[in-house]
Amino acid sequence: MISRVESDGRPVVAILTMHDTQTMFRGNRQNFQEIIKTGKDMGFLVYVVTVRDLKLDTDAVKGYMLLSDHSWEQRLCPLPQVIYNRIPYREDEALPWVRRKIKECQSHPHIDLYNPHFFNKWRLFAWLNKSRLTKQWTPLTKRLKGYPTLCEMMKRKPYLYLKPEDGKAGQGIMRIRYQKNKSLPYRIQIQNNKNSTTYKAASLERLWNRVYQETKGSSYLIQQGIELAQVHGRSFDLRILVQKNDSGFWAVTGIGARMAGAKSITTHVPRGGTIEDPEKLLPVVFGPERSDAILSEVRKAAVHMARQIEKCSGQIHGEMSMDLGIDNEGVLWFFEANSRPMKFDEPAIRKKSLERIFQYSDYLIKQK
């Protein structure tokens, strides 16, 4: 017999994930523990629920409660007022029965679900390009439809990136450069775990053979390469966390920097990148005054882009992280947004991000 938990007047938030036959449920346990602890400290009842156990036609659902010894126990929990979607994988979210459940949550009169779906990279650029304001921050990006797309882009830009449409953490990224004074002028660098491998070719057709081998069967984007600002010969970009606050408005929670690994073509930490402080890196390149102006622009741009992405998606979102680059001239560029942000390692950003989850949940509950 499963024991029942009462809300005792507390607002109720459930973290949504997938069931797992061996470990009860999927997802980052430490992240869930920190979310639950913050919620508890702020007066919320918080539990983990799987898509399978979330039955919306009852007044109680089987959820997992965190115990004081950090173990988990299944209890009968009150139906949530807010569902915080942390389904970890795109493949899970794409399952028809999971999609049906998410739609049921969205149409439920007493439940708010935020972060309903992962973003598709191509759609993000299409959405941002619809607004004159946000279009200024997007690099030239096309879907890779074959050799003709590569030719067309190479004519316009001698430096390109290839990115999987649904990739994450820098997986599958490639970089192409044309250097006309070299005997093998076409170079492609392919990201491995923490290294990259370079192939050289005499012609674009030869280069395409390698690109085709690497991309066949997958949807890829081809994008104008940006010469990112560097410190000590290593490129860096910015990671911005944007969340809705207790008034339901988008606001920047924090800005971090990620510096590329010595042999990596991306700044992602799993690919050898390191965590840095933007307020220390930017002045090295641009000086203190210009750096302040750049960070101010980054904050404003991130909020504008979050609004535009949410508007075009037609769904309600509560948070997103963004990868933005600053080129050698100090110009800002958008690379990616993620609707399920990974936890930020910077302690101040992490603390504020956890609190904002519940400040926005409180706003949603009060709106009902």
Nearest Cα to 201, choosing from 267, 154, 148?
A: 154
- CATH code of the region 121-138+228-367: 3.30.470.20
Q: Phi and psi of 312, rounded to 5°?
A: -70, -30
Average pLDDT across each block of 10 residues of the chain; the chain has 368 residues. List them in order. 92 98 94 98 98 94 96 97 96 95 95 92 96 98 93 92 76 85 87 75 89 85 93 92 98 93 60 82 95 97 98 96 95 95 92 98 94
Predicted local distance difference test score (pLDDT) of residue 218: 86
Predicted local distance difference test score (pLDDT) of residue 194: 61
Predicted local distance difference test score (pLDDT) of residue 272: 63
Q: pTM here?
A: 0.92
368: its two tokens: 């009902």
Predicted local distance difference test score (pLDDT) of residue 170: 57
In this structure, whether the domain defined by 12-114 belongs to CATH 3.40.50 is answered with yes
Instruction: Round to the nearest angstrom and report the end-to-end CA distance of the chain.
Output: 33
Predicted local distance difference test score (pLDDT) of residue 168: 63
The neighbour count for residue 159, using CB atoms within 10 Å, is 14
Predicted local distance difference test score (pLDDT) of residue 124: 96
The neighbour count for residue 232, using CB atoms within 10 Å, is 7
What region does 314 belong to: left with phi over 0, alpha with psi -120 to 50, or beta?
left
Domain boundaries of the chain, sorted by first residue: 12-114, 121-138+228-367, 141-224
The neighbour count for residue 173, using CB atoms within 10 Å, is 21
The β-bridge partners of 160 are 176, 224
Predicted local distance difference test score (pLDDT) of residue 195: 67
Query: Is there a shared CATH topology between the 12-114 domain and the 121-138+228-367 domain?
Result: no
CA 218 to each of CA 43, 168, 349: distance values in angstroms, whole numbers, following the listed order: 46, 14, 35
Predicted local distance difference test score (pLDDT) of residue 229: 93
172: its two tokens: 């599958």
Residue-level length of the chain: 368
Can you tell me the distance from the alpha carbon of 64 to that of 41, in angstroms, rounded to the nearest whole number? Answer: 18
Predicted local distance difference test score (pLDDT) of residue 264: 58
Predicted local distance difference test score (pLDDT) of residue 266: 62
